[in-house]
Amino acid sequence: MSQLPLPPATRTLGPGGVAISPIAWGMWRLAEGGRSAAEAAKLVHAALDAGITLLDTADIYGFSGPRPDGTTGFGDAEALLGEVLAAEPALRGRMVLASKGGIMPPLPYDQSAEYLNAALDASLRRLKTDCIDLYQIHRPDILAHPQEVARVLDDAVAAGKIRTVGVSNFTMPQIAALNQFLGNKLVATQPEISPLRIDCFENGELDQAMMLGLTPLAWSPLGGGRLTSESNDRERGVIAELDRVAAEQGVSRSVAAYSWLMAHPAGIVPIIGSQQAERIAEGAQALTVQWTRTDWYAVLVAARGVPLP
């Protein structure tokens, strides 16, 4: 049976760019539940000790709306990581730090030069670092001219505030436009991809990523947790195919799901969303799971809900 290649030990952000682990850890949920800096540090260690070096956050992570004390939670996830880094500065050199900006809380989006410059400086302050390795525009601001956005990002690179530039939730034309004005310097795109969210496999997004040399970072690789609790026929079908391969290869369903994404030739980097140390560390097992072409397509077909043409 035709075997797909195992993922490589490292990938890069853009061709010849910053080396990253082929699987990442995300901190969307880090500031939930009043987690202390010591508890957050344990999760950072769990990721790094498992060889997961790409750590993804955003300025809006932690935002939950107005609270009685006047705060909103905006910036809380970055601030918590900043506390971890302040307590243990050596951790900074072990990670490739990714963050995002461009959403003006709660909404809408703002990528005017004034807003974006201020947002980046605020992220750097909260993270207690002088440079973000991958700065991503979180969601596209339809009212911002991509040339203006590109200029802000170019200036930030020149000033040493960010090393590389990425986008998230952009359409393909939006990616092409910003990349054009950036002189092809985009290195990453972050769409939602999971065995339950398969649009990008057939709508051209991953083909564009390969063409432009963008590393696709998959957000919510377990469908935000839906893959861990089945609720409808389609989900049951996908889970059955993942579980079959998971059992054969002695890994969990989550690991099978990550590895399924990683088997795609675009070099998808799934962002683990768990905030439990064992589950974060377990994610690294995805590097050992090898898919056959037949099993890979069986998951896709279950997710499509209709046979291949």
The catalytic residues are: 61
- Shortest CB 254 distance to ligand NAP, Å: 4
Q: Candidates 150-158, 232-240, 266-274, 301-309 — which segment interacts with ligand NAP by CB under 6 A?
A: 266-274
Which of positions 145-164 make contact with ligand NAP (CB under 6 A)?
none
- Spatial separation of the C-alpha atoms in residues 197 and 118, rounded to whole Å: 34
| Among residues 27, 60, 84, 299, the one that binds ligand NAP under rule CB under 6 A | 27
- Shortest CB 212 distance to ligand NAP, Å: 18
| Among residues 108, 173, 204, 225, the one that binds ligand NAP under rule CB under 6 A | 225
Whole-Å CA distances, 207 to 172, 299, 303: 10, 20, 19
Among 8, 66, 4, 57, residue whose Cα is nearest residue 28 = 57
| Interaction pattern, residues 162-191, with ligand NAP; x per rule: CB under 6 A | ------xx--------------------x-
H-type alpha helices, 192-292: 199-202, 205-212, 233-249, 253-262, 277-282
Among 271, 230, 277, residue whose Cα is nearest residue 253 = 230
Asked if residues 18 and 101 have their Cβ atoms less than 8 Å apart, the reply is no
| Among residues 11, 110, 273, 298, the one that binds ligand NAP under rule CB under 6 A | 273
| Among residues 56, 133, 141, 205, the one that binds ligand NAP under rule CB under 6 A | 56
Cis amide prior to 108 (ω within 30 degrees): yes
- Shortest CB 223 distance to ligand NAP, Å: 5
Asked if residues 263 and 7 have their Cβ atoms less than 8 Å apart, the reply is yes
Can you give the binding site for ligand NAP, defined by CB under 6 A? 26-29, 56, 168-169, 190, 219-225, 228, 254, 271-276, 279
